[in-house]
Amino acid sequence: MTSSTPSEALKSLRAILRTPNLSPDDLSFHLSSALISLHIHPTSVPSSTTSASDSDSDLKSIGRYLPSVQTQILTDVVPTFLAIGALDQSTETSLRSLFVQPKTVEALSTRRAIALTSYLTLPTFLNNSASSVKDFGQTSLPTQSRSFILTILEQLTTEYGIDDLYYSVFTASTESNKGEGWRTLQWEDVVRSCVGIPAKAGNAVGRWRSEGSQEGLPAGLVPKIYFERLVTRFEGLMFELSQRSPPADITPLQLVLEKLAAIGDESAAKAFLETVFEAWSDPKYIKFTLYAQQLNLTHVLILALSLIRPFSPWLISLSHRGRLILAFQSYLSHPEPSIRRLGMFVAEILSELTIEESATEPPQFQPQEEIEALKKGLEVDEERGEGVYENKQGKGGRVKRLKFSGLWEGVGEGREECRWLRRVVGTLDSAAIINDSWEGWLLGWDVHPNTPVESHQTRPTPTLVDPRIARGRPAQTKRHAAKEPKPRTKPKIVMLDPDQLDDPLGGYDSDSPSSSRSPSPTPSYLEEVAADPSLALDAAEKRKLSRPVYIPQLAALLKEREKPEHIEMGLKWGEGLVRAKREFGTELAEYSVSVTLMALGLNDPFNIERFDEKRQGLMNALVACSPREVALFLCEQYFNNQYSLQQKSVILTALAMGARELAGMSVPQPPTTNRSIDFPSKTLPASLHRKYISAADVPQGLIENRQKGQIDEAIDGVRNLLLSKGARKGEETVPEIAREKRLRVSATRRTLVAEEGTLTAQQMLDSKLTSTSQRPVVPFKDIAAEYFIMPLINRFWQHFQDSSTRESRASSTGTRYRGAGTGMILSPLALEKFLMTLSLLLHAARHSSVFLAVLCPEALELAVTIGARHPTRTDDDPLASEQNGSDAGGAEASTVGAALELCLVALDGSFDLDGGRTLAFEKAALLLGVGEWATNVFKLEEIGGQVAGGQGGKREGRIKAGAAGVVLKVGEIGEKWGHLGLRF
């Protein structure tokens, strides 16, 4: 690693960060080079030859080149590498060191300069909303970098305070040509950025949460904690500057005081109180709002009044406003006593804060007299909006306060709440006592006695403070406080004796000239052999594979069909990489088709663990994250003859599961098969193992679920949902069933309400967060017809027409058309999967704008055509032989069942959206055909016909249920629109 100046190292790092395909190794190398050039690497040795001019030039290089490096890291490196965990611990530490350096004595000026640059650069990314990026061309912060920048800001503000920033600005070399004016401007920018970090971070977190993000504000950036730390460091800075013999310039410190004083401006409290009073005095709010909400707002109003100085002219003028007086009238006329007491309580507190108590207090009136006097006084002039009464005066000639002392004693009707609110009067945020006292009695959850608050709080005994902490310097940690002597370890390098210095690579001299042993190779010969490039052909291949961080790297890994480690690496990290790139640039859109093609053409000759599951997950992620490109490509590839039936099943599963994910529906878990054998040495060879294995040797779970894929589980759920609708409607229409259902004792339902802070509430919150999926790239209803359903249907009709033309030509010549894979798409097994996929796609697209006019009629026509045509078999077809005759009949029955389910999904969606009106008026003939076909199938099943003839079990029940559901849906549509002349 060659040494270079800091400016050259930072420029080289900036250039390498802008390269399109950056590897983790190159990133780690250049990060370490930059840190070594700045003498802040963990392995760096403090340079004793660095002059003042060199140090000043290093600081200038940091201020000039480091902001662009930090910007490049936040926008490119963190989303690409750090978000997916592609960096090791040392590289990640070096990456964070370019934002915050550990505070040590070595190269302290350089470390402070890096912190100064971070203070000026990082807060600018917190202001960059979507509108500012679009209008002003600012650099946007990627979603993956949000948590990183919040963590860096917390570490930065904790490690380096206002004193470090002052020393970085004003104690640098005075040989700069920019003068003191430039230092003053830089100090103003630093102070403005430092004081505004809590507000910017809070606003950014709130804006991100509104967009669906889950980032929270770190504890170190909470305003109270942040400003306490800032003030402590500022006090230490003032103490250190006051101890200097030549007095330092206090102008920079005045700027800090002005900024801190502007934070607690009284105008903000007045504006907040105006807003609260506006909501609290609304007549509709007083009349219609529940008591719990009014109590909450009254609590906020009392806290807001505590922020204003008592007897201030502004507060007195606020108490005389007509809107407030009308609000008191509304509260006094409210029928509920608890709400009425809230208004009287605010009036009493407001009078205490605006009317000074006289020395000789006038005699108190009874509570009823006080209320009557208040009602008479609450008269407002409609023209001026002010009170028209003259304030009642006591004997001393002073305005009398309101005192409803007798109204707050007792229990019930809001008395306990008012006594609790009175204890809050005058409480400031800084003096608030946070404890775990039970306040559930405010909402009536429990009855607790009203215990007064203790007048004095137990305060901890003050301890002596380290003078370094008082001056703003951090105290020594435990690891530096006491250094215990470590035991001496043995040296790793052992000096040899002279008789042990024989070269192990050198040959021994032979005393016998007739020795037949060949001489040993010399060291020079061994070096020559090692340097020969022709003998290191496998060096590149033997390197350890790195995790892919770009989509082209993933495509390159999947392209290596003869290297199992490449395929395993690509399948292991492929799905996560695709989902991480779903909202980051156009990289996924450009290379998604190539990755899909590579993943689809993969085979498993190396018996990779969970190969099918990982490939299917990658295909599902590609469809869900890049639907416009991948969905059309898969629809086209399905009708190619080069893929096997298993690969076509992968295509259909990816389309169906990707569509359900885009539609916000649940995606079934893929089936898992454990290929490992506990004792492989105790099994027969592969050929004999397959010959002698029986069903008894396979676990029962694998036998029952070996044909259950994601499509089967999803279609089972859709089928049960649709059939349960008809069952519920039948139960409602038949009086005997409805009466029996009402009398049946149902199981106890699980409650959905839990007390806040309990374990049940936390479990409910965790389950809610777990079930919340990511926001889809595009809603499925917007792209269902154009990219998923209609391409499949149109290409199927084209393939069906071509196949029919070939068969007709072959039959005219007396021969049969033969081609590799030509009949695979129209085979019963493939047709069943195809129809099940269309059912899932149609069920997920029922909210599409063209569902009623286009998708539903096209799906019905396709289903009736396939279901009504039983595949014919020739004599030379192996599927028609006696050996496989039952299997062929079962496959045909499954195809009919899938066609019936597709009709059921289409009819159910049409009936739910417009009651079947579009089908009844525009496609009446098609609707009649569907009903007639389903009726015939149901009759054949009743008499044991040829559909599922005599097979029984789940297959026969599936066809019966599907046919009955279709007949019922057609009957409902005909019953609803039969009065308009439509007869079914």
At 96, the pLDDT band (50, 70, 90 cuts) reads very high
Q: Which of 404, 433, 462 is the last residue of a domain?
A: 433
Residue 662 CB coordination number (10 Å): 25
| Domain, as residue range, for 934 | 645-670+708-733+799-874+881-984
**Residue 675 scores a pLDDT above 50:** no
pLDDT value for 369:
58
* Winning range, highest mean pLDDT, from 299-308, 460-469, 890-899: 299-308
* Winning range, highest mean pLDDT, from 304-313, 436-445, 830-839: 830-839
Burial class (CB in 10 A: 0-12, 13-18, 19+), 896: buried
Pair 252, 297 in one domain: no
Q: Is residue 784 part of a domain?
A: no
At 481, the pLDDT band (50, 70, 90 cuts) reads very low
Query: What pLDDT, in 10s, does the model give residues 135-168?
Result: 445 678 888 899 999 999 999 999 999 999 999 9
**How far is CA 625 from each of CA 571, 589, 621, 687, 790, rounded to the nearest angstrom?**
17, 9, 6, 42, 20
Instruction: Please tell me whether residue 393 adopts helix, strand or coil conformation.
Output: strand
Task: Identify the weakest region by mean pLDDT among 90-104, 212-226, 336-350, 384-398.
Answer: 384-398
**Residue 467 scores a pLDDT above 60:** no
pLDDT value for 577:
93
At 221, the pLDDT band (50, 70, 90 cuts) reads very high
Pair 197, 315 in one domain: no
**How far is CA 765 from each of CA 206, 375, 762, 770, rounded to the nearest angstrom?**
20, 49, 5, 9
Q: What is the mean pLDDT of residues 186-194?
A: 92
Interacting residues of 595 by C-beta distance below 8 A, sequence separation 6+: 551, 554, 555, 558, 574, 578, 618, 622
Q: What is the mean pLDDT of residues 887-897?
A: 72
Q: Which amino acid is at 619?
A: M
Q: Which amino acid is at 812?
A: S
For residue 618, give the nearest of 679, 676, 583, 567 by alpha carbon.
567
Pair 249, 291 in one domain: no
Q: Is residue 715 part of a domain?
A: yes
Q: What is the dihedral of CA 630, 636, 638, 642, to 10 degrees?
A: -110
Taken in order 128, 134, 138, 144, the sign of the CA dihedral is positive
Q: What is the mean pLDDT of residues 537-550?
A: 68
For residue 318, give the nearest of 359, 357, 283, 269 by alpha carbon.
269
Q: What is the mean pLDDT of residues 524-550?
A: 67
**Residue 765 scores a pLDDT above 70:** no
pLDDT value for 569:
93
Pair 179, 279 in one domain: no
Cα 876 vs. chain centroid, distance in angstroms? Answer: 57
**Residue 902 scores a pLDDT above 90:** yes
Pair 298, 171 in one domain: no
Q: 908-914 long-range contacts, Cβ below 8 Å, gap at least 24?
A: 908/722, 908/725, 908/969, 909/842, 909/843, 909/846, 909/851, 909/856, 910/851, 910/852, 910/856, 910/973, 911/969, 911/972, 911/973, 912/846, 913/846, 913/851, 913/852, 914/852
Residue 751 CB coordination number (10 Å): 8
Q: What is the dihedral of CA 633, 638, 642, 645, to 10 degrees?
A: 140
Task: Identify the weakest region by mean pLDDT among 309-318, 335-344, 433-442.
Answer: 433-442
Q: Which of 405, 433, 461 is the last residue of a domain?
A: 433
pLDDT value for 194:
93
* Winning range, highest mean pLDDT, from 470-484, 509-523, 542-556, 864-878: 542-556
Query: What pLDDT, in 10s, does the model give residues 770-780?
Result: 444 578 889 99
Q: What is the mean pLDDT of residues 27-32?
A: 90
Q: What are phi and psi of 360, to 5 degrees?
A: -100, 100
pLDDT value for 412:
84
Cα 888 vs. chain centroid, distance in angstroms? Answer: 48
Task: Identify the weakest region by mean pLDDT among 600-609, 723-732, 894-903.
Answer: 723-732
Q: Which amino acid is at 632?
A: L
| Cβ–Cβ < 8 Å for 326, 380 | yes
**What letter would DSSP give residue 365?**
P
At 51, the pLDDT band (50, 70, 90 cuts) reads low
The pair of structure tokens assigned to 707 is 């044909």
* Winning range, highest mean pLDDT, from 331-345, 679-693, 831-845: 831-845
pLDDT value for 469:
35
Q: Is residue 198 part of a domain?
A: yes
Pair 155, 246 in one domain: yes
Q: Is residue 567 part of a domain?
A: no
Overall number of domains in the chain: 3
**Residue 530 scores a pLDDT above 80:** no
Q: Is residue 951 part of a domain?
A: yes
Cα 239 vs. chain centroid, distance in angstroms? Answer: 47
pTM of the shown model? 0.63
pLDDT value for 422:
87
The pair of structure tokens assigned to 110 is 């350089």
Q: Which of 412, 433, 454 is the last residue of a domain?
A: 433
**Residue 949 scores a pLDDT above 80:** no
Report which of residues 547 and 490 the model is more confident about: 547
At 393, the pLDDT band (50, 70, 90 cuts) reads very low
Pair 237, 254 in one domain: yes
Mean pLDDT of the chain: 77
Instruction: Please tell me whether residue 320 adopts helix, strand or coil conformation.
Output: coil
| Cβ–Cβ < 8 Å for 436, 467 | no
pLDDT more than 70, % of the chain = 68
At 650, the pLDDT band (50, 70, 90 cuts) reads very high
Beta strands in 621-660 (DSSP E): none
**Residue 226 scores a pLDDT above 60:** yes
Pair 166, 299 in one domain: no
At 694, the pLDDT band (50, 70, 90 cuts) reads low
Q: Is residue 310 part of a domain?
A: yes
Interacting residues of 291 by C-beta distance below 8 A, sequence separation 6+: 336, 338, 339, 414
At 726, the pLDDT band (50, 70, 90 cuts) reads low
**Residue 63 scores a pLDDT above 80:** yes
Interacting residues of 654 by C-beta distance below 8 A, sequence separation 6+: 616, 619, 620, 622, 623, 630, 634
pLDDT value for 584:
82
Alpha-carbon distance 350 to 317, whole Å? 11
Query: What pLDDT, in 10s, does the model give residues 790-812?
Result: 999 999 999 999 888 887 887 77
**Residue 266 scores a pLDDT above 80:** no
Q: Give strand pairing partners of 386.
A: 321
pLDDT value for 890:
59
Q: Give strand pairing partners of 393.
A: 399
Give the residue carrying structure tokens 């009493």. Answer: 348
pLDDT value for 390:
42
Q: Is residue 740 part of a domain?
A: no
**Residue 839 scores a pLDDT above 50:** yes
Element (H, E) at 440: none
Task: Identify the weakest region by mean pLDDT among 167-181, 407-421, 880-894.
Answer: 880-894
pLDDT value for 749:
53
| Cβ–Cβ < 8 Å for 638, 792 | yes
Pair 233, 150 in one domain: yes
Q: Is residue 775 part of a domain?
A: no
The pair of structure tokens assigned to 105 is 């004595």
Q: What share of the chain is helix, strand, coil (3-state, %, to 5)?
A: 60, 0, 35
Pair 967, 869 in one domain: yes
For residue 6, give the nearest of 28, 33, 45, 46 by alpha carbon.
33
Alpha-carbon distance 966 to 106, whole Å? 81
Burial class (CB in 10 A: 0-12, 13-18, 19+), 391: exposed
pLDDT value for 598:
94
At 407, the pLDDT band (50, 70, 90 cuts) reads confident
Pair 821, 851 in one domain: yes
Q: What is the mean pLDDT of residues 466-473?
A: 39
Q: Give strand pairing partners of 321.
A: 386
**Residue 574 scores a pLDDT above 90:** yes
**Residue 470 scores a pLDDT above 80:** no
Report which of residues 343 and 463 the model is more confident about: 343
**Residue 539 scores a pLDDT above 80:** no
Q: What is the mean pLDDT of residues 975-979?
A: 78
pLDDT value for 894:
86
Alpha-carbon distance 563 to 606, whole Å? 9
pLDDT value for 312:
86
Q: What is the mean pLDDT of residues 492-498?
A: 52
Alpha-carbon distance 571 to 68, whole Å? 36
pLDDT value for 534:
54
pLDDT value for 764:
60
**Residue 450 scores a pLDDT above 90:** no
At 516, the pLDDT band (50, 70, 90 cuts) reads low
Query: What pLDDT, in 10s, does the model give residues 345-369?
Result: 898 888 888 888 764 444 454 555 5
Q: What is the mean pLDDT of residues 737-748?
A: 57
Residue length, the chain?
984
Taken in order 544, 549, 552, 557, the sign of the CA dihedral is positive
The pair of structure tokens assigned to 574 is 């492929």
**How far is CA 651 from each of CA 620, 628, 646, rounded to the nearest angstrom?**
9, 15, 9
Pair 297, 213 in one domain: no
| Cβ–Cβ < 8 Å for 835, 902 | yes
Alpha-carbon distance 333 to 329, whole Å? 6
* Winning range, highest mean pLDDT, from 368-377, 551-560, 956-965: 551-560
Task: Identify the weakest region by mean pLDDT among 46-55, 97-106, 648-657, 704-713.
Answer: 46-55
Alpha-carbon distance 654 to 643, whole Å? 15
Residue 950 CB coordination number (10 Å): 10
